[in-house]
Structure 1
Amino acid sequence: MTTVKYLAAWLAERTPSQLAELMEQRELPYAGRVESMAELADHLLMDPSVDLGLREIDLGDLQLLTAVTALAERLHGPLPAAPRVPHLIMGYDGYRPRPHLPAADPAERAVTREQLFRFLELDADGRAVAEAALSRLAERALVLPPFGSRIVVPILLHRRSREASGYGRPADQLLSEAFNAPEVHRVAQGLGLSKARTRDEAQRWIVAVLRDGERVRSLAAEAPPEARELLNKLVAGPPLLRTHCFVARYVFGYQAGAEGKFTFREGGSGDPGTDWLAARALVLPAGADLAELPYEVADALRDHDRVPEYEPFPPPVAGAVEIPVAVAVDGQAQAAMAEAVSRVELMLRWIAEQPLAVRKAGGIAVRDTRRMAKAVGVPEEQARLWLDLAANADLITPVAEEMENAAKGRAPARSAVPRPSVRMLPTGRYEKWLASSPARRLLPLVATWAVVPEVFTHWPDGDDTPVALVSPQDVEAVEVRRAVLEALATLPAGRGVGTRRADGDGGSTPAGLMATAAWFRPAVIGRGPWEADRIAATLSEAELLGVVAHGALSPVGHAVLGLLNAGAHRHFPAVPGAGPVLRDYPALDAAVGHLSAVLDALLPAPRTTARFQADLTAVVAGAAAPELTDLLSGCAERESEGHAVVWRVTPAAVRRALDSGMDAADLLARLTEVSEGGRPLPQPLEYLIKDTARTHGRMRVVRSACCIRSDDEALVLELSKARALSKLGLRRIAPTVLISTAGPEATLGALRAAGYAPVLEAETGTTVIERVRQERGPSHMPSLPKARSRRGRGPSTALALATALLADR
């Protein structure tokens, strides 16, 4: 019974949820046709699928798998490697396909549990830990059935193990691919062997010598110093060497080196050490000007007494410091969350009134981002982050406008290229989001940050100008984010690491955190400076959202980690927690519910009252409810942010409220209703509103002819002579009437800019209530089943596909 059949039988015994989770890990519902357990087993054993499975395991589990493959090489010999050359080779009959090496059954390279545990020199406790790890890996189909005393792993791991450990290809394969008969006989002579009758016999003798560890070590001991130095470097890996001691043969005038055979360079390469190694097959051709150390040579010269590394537990985060106050984490996280909600609300309100233009090349122009950042009161880097999160949470979306000529009914010129302008507008979700509590507003932003495949504040190309609204395409970003959160979760209570704020101030990423994060995701996280910058940017973003505070995970951070562990990131661009229905995904539903509950506990209910003061300010201690925000924004100017938000009532703002249709009595009544403690409004505030209302509407702008009329003849005369209004071309046609050369909207704007308080009048003589036109864009976030389309027939979701496969077994 083959491994494929064993695996198919094991898959048939899974529950629908277990099978669905495995397929989600490997993205199999979206990879092609999967219509039987045998096809599913085949997919799970393919290299791309196994590679996906390896991306989500930690270093301890990866080292355990590597130890299995290293032991298999000792017991079963090296795995034949695929050739490095292209798939077409040059022959006398033209180019022809190179035959593929036969695929090996993983079961042929099995090792026993007892052999593995002795190989790792594990005690009783270590064996228990390793057994638990093997069980975890079996659930991920990285350890294959049958699950008895023998351990079987996919062929990709055997291939990767040889490459990762710095081994080259076997000598027999290298000789066959690189040399013709004359070169093989020449190598045999260099090794002091007798003259063979055939090329095959000579090659067998050469391979026999190289497989004899004692003879290889004796050859290495006899090597001149320069050759010995090269050997030491190649044995440690990688096994490749740039050299000129081999040249490609030519076939009918064509160079065939990369696809054919090599010969020795006449007169040598000029490097005696390399020539000495090449003459004895200790290095063999691997490509143009490239030589390779055969597997057998490296294996003979390496120290095999060293026990393989196995670190089943993450290293502690080095450099962690004590947090002064135990409750400071929750407090700082709460402050960051409240600040994030406030700033994003201001940004979205600003976009609703002044939609941002999208560049033809994509993204928002830097000047527009800076203008918005200044208006909202955040650094430019933060403004870009909020824009990107809002866009991926489906709160704003790009909308293409009709071309101007098309809007006017004209046909565009034939030479014109249609380039509709695109603006960012709030989506249909915006109103519901705005009417929600602070916790419910933050939920989609935090959930989006958790699953989006991009670190938005990390811009590795220093010569490229950062722009907002980039297309998420960093496939490693989510796993890096998850590894950072997992590393922080290992910190004991009361300890944290230094973080760098998004405005650029603060400490850098500690090396200890990076090392621990790399343990959790060794297949994704490297140790270079670029990786350190990406982790530092991830920490900064987490700090802005309250996921991390004082360098430690907040309760929100633990909930975000639970969301990722439930597989939320696999459904992007659908974001669990930002709109899609989750009733068919119980694990995700529970994770989103927990995150929502944590946000509710940390963010207090919005305030519905304000404290009005004699200096014409209104102070809201905390986040204001949407109704209170709308009321105060309509009659006051927002002055400051923070734990308390301050609005200042001004004549211009009151005139804006009166323009919307309210009268003084109505405005005073509504402000009194929201006054903290039911206190009466201060007298200066009442006087301001009544005085502004007294002058409001003394002049009228007539829509049809754009006339300005007022019963106050002196005021009409004053307007006709005002320099600030000269651009309107005002002319008095009656003691109480002026005409304007500008339209009604421009005339109203100029009058208000000059300090007057006009209102718009309809043709019937009634006052027109001016309302801001609300433009909205369509929502684009798909449901979870539609987030990724499956190629092929059958169910589109993993759970539905698993259920169908189990029903047909």
Structure 2
Amino acid sequence: MSTTEELARRLGRMTAADLTELLERRGLPYRGFEFGTPVAVRDLEQLAAHLIGDASTAEALAELTAAHTQILVAAALLAQRLHGPLPESTRKAGVFHGSGPWQVMVHGWDAPDPAERAVPRAALLDFLGVTGAARQAAEHRLRELTDAALVLPAPGGDPDGPVVVPHLLHRQAARLAGLGRPLDELLSRAFQSAEIQRIHRGLALPTARTRDERQQAIVDLLSRPHEVRTLVDAAPPDARELLELMTGGGPPLLRTHCFHSRYGEHYAAEEGPFVFRSGGSGDPGTDWLAERGLVVPVGHDLVELPYEIGAVLRDPDARPAYWADPPVPGPGARTGVPDPTVLREAQAAASSAASAAELLLRQVELQPLQLRKAGGVAIRETRRAAKEAGLDEAQARFWLDLAARAGLIGVLAPEPTAAAGRGRGRKPAVPATPPVLAPTDAYDRWLAAPPAERLLPLLATWAVLPDVLSWWPELEADPPVALVSPQDPEAVPLRLALLAALAALPSGTGITAGRRDAEEWLAQAAVWHRPALREDEDLDARLAATLAESRLLGVVAHGVLTPVGHAVLALLEAGAARYFPAVPGTGPSLDGHPRLATAVTSLEDTLAALLPAPARTARFQADLTAVVPGAPGGELAGLLTACADRESEGHAVVWRFSAASVRRALDAGQDADQLLSALAEFSEGGRELPQPLRYLVKDTARTHGRMRVVRSACCIRSDDETLVLELARTRSLAKLGLRRIAPTVLISTADPDTTLAALRAAGYAPVLEAETGTTVLQRPDRARAKVKALRLADAFRSPGRNGTTAPALAAELLRGSSPPR
């Protein structure tokens, strides 16, 4: 039975939940490719073939730790020792898949069954050089790789039998281990007959009639270890030094001028055919190696050491690299950090985060932010909102981005105006005003929730957002702008690697920010958890930015991963990032995703335990302030914001009352008695409101509405003739064109809204009056942006997707299978 059939049998014995998890980990129900074309999976055998294929394997390898990856590489290297290098197979047109070191051109391969290159399990563990607890840990990792369908079933399906790995590992493992490709493959790609004849002559081989015979003779000679060692022993010192360089563990590549393209010396060819450079390279050692086929050109001024040569010159007893555990922190580690200290700092950070987001979004509600034509929030708008909320610009951008991705704010586009004219020359309809960023319906529910529930969607969004929001490398050329499309696919792996590295530290141990040795350890640990990060040139800077964001959210405190951080890590490990732009924890149903639902519930419980219940009362003081210990509840915060100005944040929130802030509440329709009664309901301990506060409210109400703006364009009336005369003579109101037409009436050339604004700016307290004589209440516009809530099933953004979800596909595949039990 083939490996594909054995794997299909194993898949058929899985539970629906386990098969669903495997499908989602491997990008299904619809991310299979064959020569660049998406292929639907309709049965278990087709699923097994997809999982074994290069595209799916490359994606899965990118999510492994270094230890898991090295076990697979070791299995492929051991297979090379036992079975020889994998022969080149016939290839067809292909496409790129995977990331980092596993980004490969995937082809159609006429390859043998993977089971033909199986290695004994015990021999593999011996090859890794592990004993005792380390051996048990390696066996556990083998079981995890089996569950991920990266260790394939051995013949007969014995779970403890030989280790079988996909062909991609066999093709890539030699390169990752510092070995080149087989000599026969390299010669076929690089040379035509004349160059093969030259190498044949350089090795002093017997006469052969054809190019194929000469190439076969070269391969046969250099495949014999004794002949290779004899040849190398006779090499000049410069040539032996170059061989040592290429077999020292790094890439088996060398820059040289031995060869150039057959189409000319100045033609920078990246593939053959190549010819020997006339007059040589100027380096006798390199020329000696080239003349004997010990290095073969693979690109412009680049040669590769063939597998046969590197395998002989390497230490035959050398073990493969195997880092069983992440690196241990050095002197930059901070030890003995007590848990209560970590919890206090985490609580303070989380409370501040919820408060900062609330302040900023309240400003967005009061005055929606204008958007740029090029995309994103206008910089001046971000600065204005940040100033009003008491935040710096970078923090404002951060919260705006998270709130938008969490569905709390969205684009509010006005209805376009009707087009004028008829016929072919009619101009298209255009919006009356530019689109703005405004709250959504979800914002109202969010605002009424306690701090823990407010922070949940923001944290979940931060976890899965494919962007490092605070990292903006080219500030001068491209100034930071809020609400741009996230385009950093490595941000989530980097975030997961950072949290996993901190989670692996002993209890009470953290890192000291700003220390170079701590930063170096963090980068090394992150690479252990996600080896593809090794190729990130800006890794240190991006890790520092991510760590700063973690501290801002209470995920990290004192260099230690907090309980919130552990819950966020569990959310990422449950695969939450697969569903972006849908964000688990912001509303999408988690039915059919039990592991994800458990992670979201754990994050909810952790936040609820960390953040105290919101305060429901305030302490009103004689200095016209109201102090709320901790975070205020939504109703209390709404009342105080309506009639007072938020003055300070911290462990307690302080509001200050003034005549202007009280007028704001009176303008919205409340009278003095209603406002005082509402405030008294929230007074701490049921205490009576201080006398200065009562006097302020009543005095402000006494002058409120003494003048009235009549709808027309426009009149001002007041029973106070002295006040009317004062208004007519006030120089700051001259722009209104006021004219007294009666002892108690003025007319204005400005519209009612402009007149009201000018009077209030001059320190007066007018109200708007309807034609019937009743007061018109001026409540702020509560327009809401419409944002479509995404389902998790909508998150697979792959070519040719259909409506099938992973749970539905798993059920269908299991229902259609009847494997022997």
Same fold (TM over 0.5): yes
| 1:56 and 2:56 correspond | no
| 1:637 and 2:650 correspond | no
Q: Please, which moves more after superposition, 739-748 or 372-381? A: 372-381
The answer as to whether partners of 1:498 and 1:507 remain within 8 angstroms in 2 is no
The answer as to whether partners of 2:190 and 2:271 remain within 8 angstroms in 1 is no
| 1:227 and 2:239 correspond | yes
What residue number does 1:615 align with? 623
What residue number does 1:182 align with? 194
Q: 1:390 to 1:412 in 2, by over 3 A?
A: farther
What residue number does 2:526 align with? 517
- Deviation, 1:408, is 8.8
Q: 1:579 to 1:509 in 2, by over 3 A?
A: farther
Task: Choose the corresponding residue for 1:487, options 501, 519, 528.
Answer: 501
The answer as to whether partners of 1:67 and 1:116 remain within 8 angstroms in 2 is yes
- Deviation, 1:39, is 1.4
Task: Choose the corresponding residue for 1:142, options 141, 146, 150.
Answer: 150
- Deviation, 1:402, is 3.8
Percentage of matched positions with identical amino acids: 56
What residue number does 2:339 align with? 326
What residue number does 2:7 align with? 7
Q: 1:129 to 1:689 in 2, by over 3 A?
A: closer
- Deviation, 1:350, is 0.2
What residue number does 1:263 align with? 275
The answer as to whether partners of 1:617 and 1:649 remain within 8 angstroms in 2 is yes
What residue number does 2:46 align with? 39
| 1:582 and 2:596 correspond | no
What residue number does 2:297 align with? 285
The answer as to whether partners of 2:272 and 2:298 remain within 8 angstroms in 1 is no
Q: 1:687 to 1:255 in 2, by over 3 A?
A: closer
C-alpha separation between the residues in 2 aligned to 1:13 and 1:528? 40
| 2:534 alignment partner, SS class | coil
Q: Please, which moves more after superposition, 780-789 or 104-113? A: 780-789
C-alpha separation between the residues in 2 aligned to 1:179 and 1:230? 22
C-alpha separation between the residues in 1 aligned to 2:491 and 2:90? 33
Q: Please, which moves more after superposition, 103-112 or 491-500? A: 491-500
Q: 1:742 to 1:387 in 2, by over 3 A?
A: same
5+ residue gaps, structure 1, are: 89-98, 501-505
Q: 1:586 to 1:665 in 2, by over 3 A?
A: same
Q: 1:267 to 1:148 in 2, by over 3 A?
A: same
What residue number does 2:794 align with? 786
The answer as to whether partners of 1:574 and 1:580 remain within 8 angstroms in 2 is yes
- Deviation, 1:656, is 1.4
Q: 1:408 to 1:198 in 2, by over 3 A?
A: closer
Letter in 2 for 1:756: Y
C-alpha separation between the residues in 2 aligned to 1:206 and 1:309? 31
The answer as to whether partners of 1:708 and 1:739 remain within 8 angstroms in 2 is yes
Q: 1:101 to 1:698 in 2, by over 3 A?
A: closer
Q: 1:647 to 1:124 in 2, by over 3 A?
A: closer
Give runs of aligned pairs for residues 633-782 of structure 1, distance below 5 A. 633-782=641-790
C-alpha separation between the residues in 1 aligned to 2:109 and 2:292? 27
Q: 1:25 to 1:528 in 2, by over 3 A?
A: closer
- Deviation, 1:431, is 0.5
- Deviation, 1:232, is 2.4
- Deviation, 1:725, is 0.3
The answer as to whether partners of 2:223 and 2:308 remain within 8 angstroms in 1 is yes
What is the TM-score with the length of structure 1 in the denominator?
0.93
C-alpha separation between the residues in 1 aligned to 2:204 and 2:807? 65
- Deviation, 1:509, is 5.3
C-alpha separation between the residues in 2 aligned to 1:85 and 1:244? 32
Letter in 1 for 2:678: R
Give runs of aligned pairs for residues 128-139 of structure 1, distance below 5 A. 128-139=136-147
The answer as to whether partners of 2:420 and 2:426 remain within 8 angstroms in 1 is no
| 1:720 alignment partner, SS class | helix
- Deviation, 1:735, is 1.4
The answer as to whether partners of 2:30 and 2:802 remain within 8 angstroms in 1 is no
- Deviation, 1:756, is 0.6
Task: Tell me the alpha carbon deviations over residues 33-71 of structure 1, each in whole angstroms, 9 at most, x when there is no partner.
Answer: 111112111211122211221122222111111111111
| 2:538 alignment partner, SS class | helix
Q: 1:239 to 1:592 in 2, by over 3 A?
A: same
Q: 1:304 to 1:462 in 2, by over 3 A?
A: farther
What residue number does 1:355 align with? 368
Letter in 1 for 2:510: G
The answer as to whether partners of 1:406 and 1:412 remain within 8 angstroms in 2 is no
What residue number does 2:356 align with? 343
| 1:388 alignment partner, SS class | helix
Task: Choose the corresponding residue for 1:155, options 146, 151, 167.
Answer: 167
Letter in 2 for 1:294: P
Letter in 2 for 1:36: D
Give runs of aligned pairs for residues 21-420 of structure 1, distance below 5 A. 21-31=21-31, 32-81=39-88, 102-146=110-154, 147-236=159-248, 237-249=250-262, 261-318=273-330, 319-403=332-416, 406=418
C-alpha separation between the residues in 1 aligned to 2:309 and 2:260? 23
- Deviation, 1:803, is 0.5
Q: 1:615 to 1:793 in 2, by over 3 A?
A: closer
What is the TM-score with the length of structure 2 in the denominator?
0.91
C-alpha separation between the residues in 2 aligned to 1:693 and 1:14? 72
| 2:570 alignment partner, SS class | helix
What residue number does 2:614 align with? 606
Q: Please, which moves more after superposition, 410-419 or 657-666? A: 410-419
C-alpha separation between the residues in 2 aligned to 1:5 and 1:325? 54
Q: 1:411 to 1:554 in 2, by over 3 A?
A: farther
How many residues align? The count is: 791
| 1:533 and 2:541 correspond | yes
Q: 1:120 to 1:325 in 2, by over 3 A?
A: closer
Q: 1:28 to 1:349 in 2, by over 3 A?
A: same
Task: Tell me the alpha carbon deviations over residues 399-434 of structure 1, each in whole angstroms, 9 at most, x when there is no partner.
Answer: 32345x549999998788968722111111011001
What residue number does 1:93 align with? none
Q: 1:222 to 1:437 in 2, by over 3 A?
A: same
What residue number does 1:435 align with? 448
- Deviation, 1:646, is 1.1
Task: Tell me the alpha carbon deviations over residues 548-605 of structure 1, each in whole angstroms, 9 at most, x when there is no partner.
Answer: 1111121111211222222222211111111112233222222211211111111111
The answer as to whether partners of 1:460 and 1:530 remain within 8 angstroms in 2 is no
- Deviation, 1:190, is 0.7
Task: Tell me the alpha carbon deviations over residues 526-560 of structure 1, each in whole angstroms, 9 at most, x when there is no partner.
Answer: 28661111111111111111111111121111211
Letter in 2 for 1:338: S
C-alpha separation between the residues in 2 aligned to 1:612 and 1:412? 67
5+ residue gaps, structure 2, are: 32-38, 96-106
- Deviation, 1:355, is 0.8
Task: Choose the corresponding residue for 1:456, options 469, 472, 485.
Answer: 469
What residue number does 1:470 align with? 484
| 1:30 alignment partner, SS class | coil
Letter in 1 for 2:355: S
- Deviation, 1:84, is 12
C-alpha separation between the residues in 1 aligned to 2:179 and 2:377? 49
Letter in 1 for 2:474: D
Alpha-carbon RMSD across the aligned residues, in angstroms, is 2.8
C-alpha separation between the residues in 2 aligned to 1:307 and 1:139? 26
The answer as to whether partners of 1:508 and 1:536 remain within 8 angstroms in 2 is no
The answer as to whether partners of 2:268 and 2:300 remain within 8 angstroms in 1 is no
Q: Please, which moves more after superposition, 770-779 or 561-570? A: 561-570
C-alpha separation between the residues in 1 aligned to 2:482 and 2:355? 19
The answer as to whether partners of 2:663 and 2:701 remain within 8 angstroms in 1 is yes
C-alpha separation between the residues in 1 aligned to 2:109 and 2:575? 37
C-alpha separation between the residues in 1 aligned to 2:138 and 2:44? 29
